[in-house]
Chains A and B, each alone.
Chain A
Amino acid sequence: MERLLVSPSPHLHTKTSTKSLMRDVVIAMIPAVIVSVLFYGWSELLVLGVSVASCVLLEYLITKYLLKRPCTVGDMSAVVTGILLALNLPATTPWWVVFIGAVVAIGVAKMTFGGLGQNLFNPAIVGRVFLLISFPTYMTDWTRPQGFIGGGLDGLSGATPLGLAKEGGVAAIEGLDYMDMLFYNIGGSAGELSAIAILAGFVYLLARRVIRPYITLSILATVAVFSGIFWAINPAEYTDPVFNLLTGGVLLGSVFMATDYVTSPMSNVGGIIFGVGIGIITMLIRYFGAYPEGMSFAILIMNSVVPLINKVCHAKKYGRA
């Protein structure tokens, strides 16, 4: 009572902190993590463990010894990057390749730009794309390791559905059961195994008001409309919308990576432009480009346009119609 605190208003503050937001993102990824571990077993656990541990350790070492700044590991953003990177790799990736991915993600994409909040590109995607270009064999090895359940998922082992479609055309993916894919059977990176698991994370993030829905929904809508038009014109040549939504990291990317605060636009309108851009670039790469999927590249390309989008798109101001 003797010494009253005096400071300017407001005198109350939200309980939400950077750390609590990151914790929520981690929680939102848990369903996808669980599914991937269940079906891909020990090797997936190893990828996850190495990825998270190296991301956190690298951030700690870099802030402490290289930048000599207060350590930022406590905000949990490195954990998010670690899990995201792991979910974006095949479960068979050797541990040292995962480590290199973490070095690129944290060391290059995040810390050289000045740490959380300053980076232009999503660290996890930079890590993944670097590995994709440097170690294409490991990164496209889709053999399925032994999981804890669902022993040897049959269906399309050995290659991703998108890869099959790229090489063999629409005929190659005939007989795919989309209902299956919804739950557990999406060939590709570990994290995209189950569409439902990713969507559960999306719902959680929305409910906790961690993210706004515009970016994710505009990506999904664009992919659906774009592929819908081509498919309607020529179903023998172009893959259908459902297939395109469920494969190649579209869900994982649109829910967890394109929505990254730091590397996406601030305004809702900006978010929609960003999402539509990602959707179009992804589909252009898939239909006409050299890579079967395209989501990672699309996000990186649009990341680089974010400063421009932010310059042009502003929130609607009161009384300034």
Chain B
Amino acid sequence: MMKTFSIGGIHPSDSKISKDCKIEVLPVPSKVFISVAQHLGAPATPVVKAGDQVKVGQVIAEPAGFISAYVHSSVSGTVKSVGPRKDLAGNNMTHIEIDVEGDEWIEGVDLSDTLVTAIPEDNKAILEKIKMCGVVGLGGATFPAHVKLCPPPGKVAECLILNGAECEPYLTSDNRIMIERSKEIVIGAAIMKQVLGGCKTVIGIEENKPEAIAAMTAAVAELQKTAKGYDGISVMTLKKKYPQGGEKQLIDAVMGRQVKSMGLPIDVGAVVQNVATSLAVYEAVQKNIPLITNVMTITGDCLPMEKQHNYKFRIGMPLSYIAEYAGGVPEQAAKIISGGPMMGKAIANMDATTVKGSSSLLYLTAEQTVRGVESACIRCGKCAEACPMGLEPFLLQKYARNNMMDELEENAVQDCIECGCCLYSCPANIPLLDIIRIAKGDVIRIIRTRK
């Protein structure tokens, strides 16, 4: 029987319209604006100034703390300015503006197509490379990858889980890289597995991506036959259910273990990395290519088939440039999402630019996305049935509206993963997650100050 996580979950239509669209490379625009905040943690500190010449792959900002990451230039040319610019939510963040001239890369980068299957032996050097290349988790959280690959003392990784679930509707970039770059992803997984001490490795993919499952399975088999260090890697087909790609849910699905409240995956012996991260690890370690590209999906029901795309983009490209290149924003689009429709962010500013974790431009029509009028809770329990954390959203929202902090904490509001299943399911259109999100922030602050 196919595995999946044990509590809650929903089955929205998966709408993988662009699943067969091959990855195309976006041409470089004449100007890029590279944000210094492309990862979870402290924004990086710029190390270039206006007038500096930069090459593709050159460090332009350095980590400002343990949880932070390097940022590299995605183009060659002249730094025009370093200063505030609005991100996609409309907030100001430091961006490095570069006028593009040619496409000249830094030394030592291997841009050939040759597959490098031999894994270097020195784990320290591998971790250093992953760090220096600015690799962050590309599954949504953009947590610096090397940090996750160094379990704290006393903790042992028993299983590396590669997240190929891509459970968000509409998104197809992971599907495409698993089909087109399967071997690179498996090599990346083998590298991470070695760093973690040679633990078992499971690549979890949802059943609605049969081509990806076949390609990844074949890649694993071939590498196991032809190279060393690939034992103990396997592909696991998972039943389609949202939010399978949630770290806690994936661990439950693959290992049958649950992470304790406020705990970390490594507490139960798990390390979870996205398939795109694995590809970035391959490029960093085997090819010396820093993380300056990723794949994003351009999709929506209101786009004709020929305007659906999966693009390989460079960081710092204006979203409006990409939309224009893809054929323009469709008239019916009322909302544009960066990320999936369940957890992605609504874009307020199309002049914002791509970051390492960008995954889509998703066009939704008003009919699809405008919420109905809120009515009384009919106590149907559908929100609780849907919650993958086993919470009772109807109760949490009631406590939140009455500012009952103790009750909120007792009923585990801090465990909410903000997956949106509750709000999605509520027949009375109660803005459950909107309310719970704020309450969760408050309760976590209270818990922190107590410590």
Contacts and interface: CB of A to CB of B under 8 A. Distances in A.
A315 B370 contact: no
21 contacts: A4-B350, A6-B347, A7-B371, A9-B345, A9-B418, A9-B433, A10-B343, A11-B369, A14-B12, A17-B427, A72-B376, A116-B376, A266-B381, A315-B391, A317-B415, A318-B258, A318-B390, A318-B415, A319-B248, A319-B389, A320-B260
Contacts of A5: 334-335, 346, 366, 369-370
Contact of A318 (B371, B381, B389): B389
Interface in B359-389: 364, 366, 368-372, 375-382, 384-385, 387-389
A77 B418 CA distance: 31
B299 to A, nearest CB: 13
A17 B252 CA distance: 31
B136 to A, nearest CB: 21
A77 B382 CA distance: 17
Contacts of A318: 7, 248, 252, 258, 388-390, 415
A115 B420 contact: no
Contacts of B388: 318
A114 to B, nearest CB: 8
A12 to B, nearest CB: 5
B223 interface: no
Contact of B335 (A4, A13, A319, A321): A4
Interface in B411-443: 411-412, 415, 418, 420, 423-429, 433-434, 437
Given A318-B258, A319-B415, 13 more contacts: A4-B347, A6-B335, A11-B335, A12-B424, A314-B411, A315-B392, A317-B390, A318-B7, A318-B248, A318-B388, A319-B258, A319-B389, A320-B415
A262 interface: yes
Interface residues of A, number: 37
Interface residues of B, number: 66
Interface in B316-369: 329, 331, 333-337, 341-348, 350, 364, 366, 368-369
B259 interface: yes
Contacts of B370: 5
B170 to A, nearest CB: 9
Contacts of A7: 335, 346, 371
Contacts of A6: 335, 346-348
A267 interface: yes
A12 B424 CA distance: 6
Contact of B427 (A21, A72, A317): A21
A11 B168 CA distance: 11
B178 to A, nearest CB: 24
A261 B376 CA distance: 13
Interface in B240-268: 248, 252, 258-261, 263
Interface in A252-303: 261-262, 266-267
Interface of B: 7, 10, 12, 169, 248, 252, 258-261, 263, 329, 331, 333-337, 341-348, 350, 364, 366, 368-372, 375-382, 384-385, 387-392, 394, 411-412, 415, 418, 420, 423-429, 433-434, 437
Tell me what chain B mostly uses at the interface: helix, strand, loop, or mixed: loop
B372 A321 contact: no
A2 B409 CA distance: 42
B342 A10 contact: yes
A54 B391 CA distance: 39
Contacts of B169: 12
Interface in A16-36: 16-18, 20-21
A10 B420 contact: yes
Contacts of B333: 1
Nearest to B363: A1
B368 to A, nearest CB: 7
B252 to A, nearest CB: 7
B258 A20 contact: no
Contact of A319 (B263, B364, B394, B437): B263
A68 interface: no
A117 interface: yes
B77 to A, nearest CB: 30
Given A10-B343, A266-B392, A317-B389, A20 B427 contact: yes
B336 A4 contact: yes
Given A7-B346, A18-B378, A116-B376, A319 B261 contact: yes
Given A318-B7, A319-B415, A117 B335 contact: no
Given A8-B434, A266-B379, A13 B415 contact: no
B243 to A, nearest CB: 10
A17 B379 contact: no
Nearest to A318: B389
Contact of B424 (A14, A18, A72, A266): A14
A319 B381 contact: no
A11 B379 contact: no
A137 interface: no
B378 A262 contact: yes
Rank and list the top 5 A-B pairs by shortest CB-CB distance, nearest first.
A10-B420, A317-B390, A117-B376, A5-B335, A319-B258
Contacts of A141: none
Interface string A56-98: 0000000000000000100101000000000000000000000
A1 B263 CA distance: 43
A118 interface: yes
A206 to B, nearest CB: 14
A118 B428 CA distance: 14
Contacts of A115: 376
Interface string A219-236: 000000000000000000
A262 B433 CA distance: 22
Nearest to A320: B261
B148 to A, nearest CB: 19
B368 A17 contact: no
A267 B381 contact: yes
Given A262-B379, A319-B261, A13 B424 contact: yes
Given A5-B366, A319-B415, A117 B379 contact: yes
Contacts of B387: 315
A8 B336 CA distance: 12
